Amino acid sequence: MTKAIWNERKVIVVTGATGGVGRGIALACAEAGWSVWIAARREKEGQAVAAEVDALGGEGHFVACDVGVPGSAAEAIATILSQEKRLDGVVHNATSGLSPVPVSLAEVGLADFQDHVHVALGALHSLARASFGALKDSHGSLLLTTSEAGFEGKAKLSPYAGVKGAQRGFARALAREWGRDGVRVNSIAPLASTPAMERAFELDPAMADRVLARNPLRRLGDATEDIGRAARFLLSDDASYVTGHTLMVDGGSCPAV
Amino acid sequence: MRNDRPLLIASQNEETSRLATSLDAEFVSLPDLTRPEIFEAWRATTIEGDVRERVIVSVWPPPIEARDLAELDANAWAHRFEEPYLLWNFALGAATKLVADGGHVVALCQAPAALDAPGRTPELAIADGVLALVRSIAAAEGRRGVRANLVTTPLGLVEGDLVAPAPPLEGFPGTIEAHVVGAVRIFLSADAEGLTGRVLSADGGRAL
């Protein structure tokens, strides 16, 4: 029997991986024995996830990265390349802390809009530029964590929905641009049980019923087993002919696709 | 006070002037998109205007050539993506305040077709972001009968030879009068009372 291609060692970096979906992606990549860099602000929490990666058979590392600060993402990529000499996958999962906060589009202030934009798109631009050369060498891939909100919009989370939609456009365009160099660009749109989702349910108590009522599988996804493994597929050579795609990993929830 | 004349909130340029003329719309200029620090004050002033049945919004940056993402430094990225995208958020926010119950909001956004997207990552990101914002407005304002839809056009984003196949219709990338105004009118009309959160690509079939 042929050994699964994704078992070959890869070097991956995941932003926003101290919890939730980012942690789930990191742990799923650990199951494949990959080297996984946890790019995050909080070292203690990042080191804890790196230890979980080790425990699952991968190689866990922490690299300091505040995606809201210009230049930080590029510095993190430089640190990884200085140690690993290669990079196979970049996952931009970090999102603004304001993401689950209900707001009216007409009442959002500049600073809050900028926070959404800097974390979701500014850091993405920086990560993409800093990693392009290495991804070209490895024929690697860039993976974005977007959301069903980026397809269908959200009545009370407009700024979040907007940047998630913008990430999809970013991926669709860059996939065509980078394809000529053998670099793939994809997105996943997860629906997972995460601290962020729990926070959103706290802020909007009716949200839990709304979310589950339209979900054919009637449950939220597990960040590692449901979401992380789907992300791992897109990062792996098993997905070597998949680019410009958004994979809905949402239990069939989003009706806008 | 309610005003029956359409309101066009847009960047001031030749295309939007022709759009205003074709729709007989009152024109409200957007602020200089390179000055985000004045966007909030602009929105506060603008929403003091009369409530309208029909509001059209179009952030239309000056022409800029296609450029690979790897060549865009942080300043170029901010200029091509962040500034116009932030302005879209403020302009659409103002539109939700100015549109009357039962009224219509139509956004007109430049968007490259996927085939023509290389070198246009910021512009396609803006277009897909605006679609999500329009759908958010449709979801939020639908309870008071407000519809929100999007028209996209590749005008201003096409240069050089096109990747095959050619667009199905001749005349690509079209003109404001012949191809864009009609799509906006469809959404603004009573014939579209059941349409919200939709997008029409006025691109001669290039997006097929």
Q: Give yes or no for residue A3 having a pLDDT over 50.
A: no
- Which residues are paired to A11 by β-bridges? A35
- The answer to whether the beta carbons of residues A64 and A38 sit under 8 Å apart is no
Helix (H) or strand (E) holding B54: strand B51-58
* Statement: the pTM of the whole predicted model exceeds 0.90: yes
Rounded to whole angstroms, the Cα distance separating A42 from A63 reads: 10
Q: Check CB contact under 8 Å for B140 and A121.
A: no
Q: Check CB contact under 8 Å for B89 and A159.
A: yes
What band does A100 get if pLDDT is binned at 50, 70 and 90? confident
Identity of the residue numbered B166: A
Q: Which of B87, B136, B199, B201 to mutate to test the interface with A (most CBs of A within 10 A)?
A: B136
- The answer to whether the beta carbons of residues B94 and B43 sit under 8 Å apart is yes
Nearest residue, CB atoms, B133 vs list A70, A105, A117: A105
Q: How far from the centroid of its chain's Cα atoms is residue B21's Cα?
A: 17
**Tell me, what's the ipTM?**
0.96
Higher-pLDDT residue of A14 and B1 is A14
Q: Give yes or no for residue A193 having a pLDDT over 50.
A: yes
Q: Check CB contact under 8 Å for B136 and A104.
A: no
Rounded to whole angstroms, the Cα distance separating A13 from A229 reads: 15
Identity of the residue numbered A221: G
Rounded to whole angstroms, the Cα distance separating B206 from A216 reads: 35
Outline where B27-180 has alpha helix (H): 39-46, 74-77, 83-98, 121-141
Our CA-based measurement puts residue B44 at a distance from the nearest CA of chain A, in whole angstroms, of: 9
Catalytic-role residue among A6, A62, A132, A160: A160
Q: Give yes or no for residue A1 having a pLDDT over 50.
A: no
B66 and chain A in contact, CB less than 8 A: no
Query: What share of chain A has pLDDT > 90, as a percent?
Result: 84
- Which residues are paired to A38 by β-bridges? A14, A62
- If phi > 0 it is left, if psi is from -120 to 50 it is alpha, else beta; for residue A247 that is beta
Identity of the residue numbered B145: G
Rounded to whole angstroms, the Cα distance separating B89 from A228 reads: 32
Our CA-based measurement puts residue A18 at a distance from the nearest CA of chain B, in whole angstroms, of: 27
Our CA-based measurement puts residue B207 at a distance from the nearest CA of chain A, in whole angstroms, of: 13
Q: State the pLDDT at residue A7.
A: 55
Task: Tell me which residue has tokens 């919004």.
Answer: B57
Q: Burial, B187: exposed, middle or buried (Cβ in 10 Å; 0-12, 13-18, 19+)?
A: buried
Q: Which of A170, A204, A243, A257 to mutate to test the interface with B (most CBs of B within 10 A)?
A: A170
pLDDT tens per residue, range A107-133: 999 999 999 999 999 999 999 999 999
Rounded to whole angstroms, the Cα distance separating B160 from B70 reads: 20
pLDDT tens per residue, range A150-179: 999 999 999 999 999 999 999 999 999 999
B76 and chain A in contact, CB less than 8 A: no
Q: Is the peptide bond before A205 cis (omega within 30 degrees of 0)?
A: no
What band does A14 get if pLDDT is binned at 50, 70 and 90? very high
Our CA-based measurement puts residue B172 at a distance from the nearest CA of chain A, in whole angstroms, of: 20
Query: What share of chain A has pLDDT > 70, as a percent?
Result: 97
Closest alpha carbon to B18 in B46, B56, B66:
B56
Q: State the pLDDT at residue A197.
A: 81
Q: Give yes or no for residue A21 having a pLDDT over 90.
A: yes
Could you give all domains of chain A from N- to C-terminal order, each with its CATH number?
Answer: 7-117+135-249 (3.40.50.720)
Q: Which residues of B touch A152 (CB under 8 A)?
A: 132, 135, 139, 197
Tokens of residue A73, six digits = 């993402």
Q: Give yes or no for residue A2 having a pLDDT over 60.
A: no
What tens-digit pLDDT sequence spans chain B (208 residues)? 667 899 999 999 999 999 999 999 999 999 999 999 999 999 999 999 999 999 999 999 999 999 999 999 999 999 999 999 999 999 999 999 999 999 999 999 999 999 999 999 999 999 999 999 999 999 999 999 999 999 999 999 998 888 888 899 999 999 999 999 999 999 999 999 999 999 999 999 998 7
Bridge-based pairing state of the strands B147-153 and A35-40: unpaired
Q: Check CB contact under 8 Å for B136 and A158.
A: yes
- The answer to whether the beta carbons of residues A77 and A87 sit under 8 Å apart is yes
Nearest residue, CB atoms, A106 vs list B93, B112, B123: B93
Q: Check CB contact under 8 Å for B117 and A172.
A: yes
Q: Check CB contact under 8 Å for B121 and A129.
A: no
Could you give all domains of chain B from N- to C-terminal order, each with its CATH number?
Answer: 2-201 (3.40.50.720)
Q: State the pLDDT at residue A151.
A: 95
B117 and chain A in contact, CB less than 8 A: yes
Average pLDDT, chain A: 94
B121 and chain A in contact, CB less than 8 A: yes
Rounded to whole angstroms, the Cα distance separating A56 from A91 reads: 19
Task: Determine whether A160 is an active site residue.
Answer: yes
Q: Check CB contact under 8 Å for A165 and B92.
A: no
